[in-house]
């Protein structure tokens, strides 16, 4: 592939800008996300090639693969952050390149637990900034009683009630991750995108996070989510579907019980791996390669 191939760019805002988010009742029926034969080429290198994916309301997808497989690149497309080099991406029924992506943002919750926020705000105040998708409170507008109630409900669901009044700077990494999920959920998005949310967490913090995600999905059955990881142990029990990526291509995609097999996971990671599932959770162990005799 030549380095002159078209490059993916940050998704521009197309069409007229609306002052308010696209009302939920105006969202068309059908899949929340759909990609068709998507390629992403950068500096002559295929980061993604031929990716076709459909995500419906209430589905909870895992994007799995080794480092450099293209997981975060795909998440950027699904979150309307970047455009494909080739192919089609529909987000909430809108084709990227034909819609003002700012109209979609209120319906997408994109969570990066490595968010560089260094705010002196309390957890409650950080969560409330999600109402307007800012990183600072609106000093000219007080939160409504409904917004305050929703913030408290989400803080409780994510297991953060005990530290709701604590400064952001005093939180552990796991607490920050859960607070950012609550923040992303403030505008009632249709889709939650999670980029390796358990990275750097100890065992207890990881289990608190996964339990919170399971509870959140149970309480909001209309919500869909996509979680990126390269560790099977970081998948919540409520995961319904999976897509396995290797070197930018799809190894397998579909219902989680069909995709999460020893054979397919081994192909995805390029090494013999034994997987098992207990009480809805997965574990993986690399199998030793046998040295040929003779």
CATH number at residue 260: 3.40.50.300
Kindly state whether residue 279 falls inside one of the protein's structural domains.
yes
State the pLDDT confidence band at 289, using cuts at 50, 70 and 90: low
Task: Report the distance separating Cα 264 and Cα 258, nearest Å.
Answer: 9
Task: Report the distance separating Cα 192 and Cα 32, nearest Å.
Answer: 11
Kindly state whether residue 275 falls inside one of the protein's structural domains.
yes
Specify the pLDDT at position 293.
58
pLDDT tens-digit readout, 86-98: 999 999 888 887 7
Question: Any idea which of 65-74, 114-123, 129-138, 221-230 has the lowest mean pLDDT?
Answer: 129-138
**15 versus 159: which is more confidently predicted?**
159
Specify the pLDDT at position 18.
29
Share of the chain above pLDDT 70, in %: 81
Q: Which two tokens stand for residue 243?
A: 């897509």
The mean pLDDT value for 236-246 works out to 97
Cα dihedral sign for 75, 79, 81, 87?
positive
Kindly state whether residue 164 falls inside one of the protein's structural domains.
no
Kindly state whether residue 44 falls inside one of the protein's structural domains.
yes
Kindly state whether residue 83 falls inside one of the protein's structural domains.
yes
Kindly state whether residue 170 falls inside one of the protein's structural domains.
no
Kindly state whether residue 155 falls inside one of the protein's structural domains.
no
Kindly state whether residue 54 falls inside one of the protein's structural domains.
yes
Q: Which two tokens stand for residue 137?
A: 């409170």
State the pLDDT confidence band at 17, using cuts at 50, 70 and 90: very low
State the pLDDT confidence band at 26, using cuts at 50, 70 and 90: low
State the pLDDT confidence band at 199, using cuts at 50, 70 and 90: confident
The mean pLDDT value for 248-274 works out to 96
The mean pLDDT value for 71-100 works out to 88
Specify the pLDDT at position 48.
96
- The number of distinct structural domains making up the chain is 1
| Structural domain range at position 217 | 30-116+190-284
First to last CA, the chain: 42
């Amino acid at each position: 592939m030549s380095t002159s191939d078209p490059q993916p760019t940050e998704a521009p805002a197309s069409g007229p800008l609306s002052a308010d988010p696209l009302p939920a009742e105006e969202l068309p029926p059908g899949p929340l996300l759909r990609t068709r034969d998507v390629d992403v080429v950068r500096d002559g290198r295929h980061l993604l090639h031929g990716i076709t994916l459909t995500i419906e309301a209430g589905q909870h997808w895992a994007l799995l693969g080794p480092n450099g497989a293209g997981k975060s690149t795909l998440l950027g497309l699904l979150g309307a952050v970047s455009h494909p080099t080739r192919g089609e991406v529909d987000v909430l029924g809108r084709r990227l390149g034909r819609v003002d992506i700012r109209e979609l943002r209120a319906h997408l919750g994109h969570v990066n637990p490595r968010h560089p926020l260094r705010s002196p705000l309390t957890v409650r105040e950080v969560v409330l900034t999600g109402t307007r998708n800012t990183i600072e409170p609106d000093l000219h507008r007080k939160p409504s009683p409904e917004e305050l109630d929703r913030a408290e409900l989400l803080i409780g669901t994510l297991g953060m009630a005990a530290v709701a009044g604590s400064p952001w700077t005093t939180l552990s990494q796991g607490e920050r991750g859960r607070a950012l999920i609550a923040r992303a959920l403030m505008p009632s998005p249709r889709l939650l995108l999670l980029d390796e949310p358990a990275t750097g967490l100890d065992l207890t913090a990881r289990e608190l996070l996964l339990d919170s995600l399971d509870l959140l999905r149970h309480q909001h059955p209309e919500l869909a989510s996509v979680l990126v990881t390269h560790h099977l142990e970081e998948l919540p029990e409520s995961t319904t579907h999976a897509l396995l990526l290797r070197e930018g291509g799809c190894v397998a995609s579909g219902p989680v019980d069909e995709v999460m097999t020893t054979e397919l996971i081994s192909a995805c990671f390029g090494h013999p791996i034994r997987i098992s599932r207990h009480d809805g959770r997965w574990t993986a162990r690399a199998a030793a390669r046998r040295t040929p005799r003779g």
